[in-house]
Amino acid sequence: MNDKKSPPVAVTYEGDVTIATLTRERILEDADIRALEETILPLIAQADSIRLVIDFSTVRFLTSAALGLLIRISKKVREQGGRLALCSIQPKIYEVFRITQLDQVFQIFPDADQAAKNV
Amino acid sequence: MGNANTDRKTLTLPSDVSAVERVCEGLLAEAAAQSFGEDDLFAIHLALEEALMNAAKHGNALDPKKCVRVEYQITPEKFDVTITDQGCGFNPDALPDPRSEENLYKYGGRGVLLMRAYMDTVEFNPSGNRVHMVKYRTNQTATG
């Protein structure tokens, strides 16, 4: 299910860690990327040195455009002195990170608890 | 359960994102009807999305006057697709490696790498405005 009407991200907080859980199973092009950008970038801008976890537990498919967005997010977080971690990436999606060697760029944890402790 | 026609087919789509997604959905449904498994469908979906988006966005520059042509054949043994755009083409051999240190943090440039990683055959014509891809069925549990 890829409900375009629901918010693309569910934001929760664990102490001073912001957890952004992606809600769409498929992250394709343009509209999905824009929706994520419009939700996540303001979170970074509004925080002071954000500790951000992006939770991929719902995501079953993404394209290289989503990887590009993650790099942009990572850059914004770094520019503002924050930290970013990804978590709960399913094996097929993790393979995409591995093939593109982005598993070496991002901190990736098995679940949100571990990501929140280490971000 | 769906159309299991194995004839070679052709369709043409406009150079826009929603058309690309509709075509991907349609071809994936046909592959699922041929009982391709979950892993194969993931691979085909990713390569198709990347190739069609490249054709529409980079090849045709999202020009509404330009089309993308898709010729495909789906059999129980393989998913075979050729995608042609109306752009000037490019040199796929000159693509920078997105995994190199200077490119790893770039926002784009990973589409062809992913196409080559997930499909068994990826061939470009000399001018670079046509790509032929093949995915052979792997032994796994079929979906549906």
pTM for the whole structure = 0.92
Contact list in B for residue A96 (CB cut-off 8 A) is 46, 114
For the record, the structure tokens of B26 come out as 């349609």
Closest Cα in chain B to A98: B99
Which CATH number is B16's domain given?
3.30.565.10
The closest CB to that of B110, out of A67, A69, A104, belongs to: A67
The closest CB to that of A64, out of B20, B42, B110, belongs to: B110
Contacts of B42 (CB under 8 A, 6+ apart): A61, A92, B118
Q: Given this model, what pLDDT does residue A28 score?
A: 82
For the record, the structure tokens of A82 come out as 């924050």
Establish if B39 belongs to a structural domain. Answer: yes
Question: What percent of chain A stands above pLDDT 70?
Answer: 96
Give the domain extent around A92: 9-111
d(CA A45, CA A66): 20
What is the rounded average pLDDT of the residues A88-105?
97
For residue A4, what pLDDT band results from cuts at 50, 70 and 90?
low
Establish if B80 belongs to a structural domain. Answer: yes
d(CA A45, CA A39): 11
Closest Cα in chain A to B42: A61
In degrees to the nearest 10, what's the CA dihedral of B111, B116, B121, B125? 50
Establish if A3 belongs to a structural domain. Answer: no
Q: Given this model, what pLDDT does residue B1 score?
A: 41
pLDDT of A39-56, one tens digit each? 999 999 999 899 999 999
> CB of B104 within 8 Å of any CB in chain A?
yes
How many independent structural domains does chain B possess?
A: 1
Establish if A118 belongs to a structural domain. Answer: no
Bridge partners of A52?
A18, A84
Establish if B24 belongs to a structural domain. Answer: yes
What is the rounded average pLDDT of the residues B77-81?
97
A3 pLDDT more than 60: no
Give the domain extent around B45: 9-136
| Mutual angle of helices A91-99 and B38-53, in 10-degree steps | 50
d(CA A111, CA A53): 10
pLDDT of B102-137, one tens digit each? 999 999 999 999 999 999 999 999 999 999 999 999
d(CA B95, CA B88): 16
For residue A5, what pLDDT band results from cuts at 50, 70 and 90?
low
How many independent structural domains does chain A possess?
A: 1
Which CATH number is A67's domain given?
3.30.750.24
ipTM: 0.91
**Could you tell me if B2 and B32 are in contact, meaning their C-beta atoms sit under 8 angstroms apart?**
yes
Contacts of A1 (CB under 8 A, 6+ apart): A25
Identify the helix (H) or strand (E) that includes residue B80: strand B78-84
For residue A16, what pLDDT band results from cuts at 50, 70 and 90?
very high
Buried b (16+ CB within 10 A) or exposed e, A80-113: eebbbbbbbbeebbebbbebbbbbebbebbeebe
Contact list in A for residue B107 (CB cut-off 8 A) is 68-69, 71-72
DSSP state letter for B55: I
For residue A1, what pLDDT band results from cuts at 50, 70 and 90?
very low
Longest dimension (CA), chain A: 36
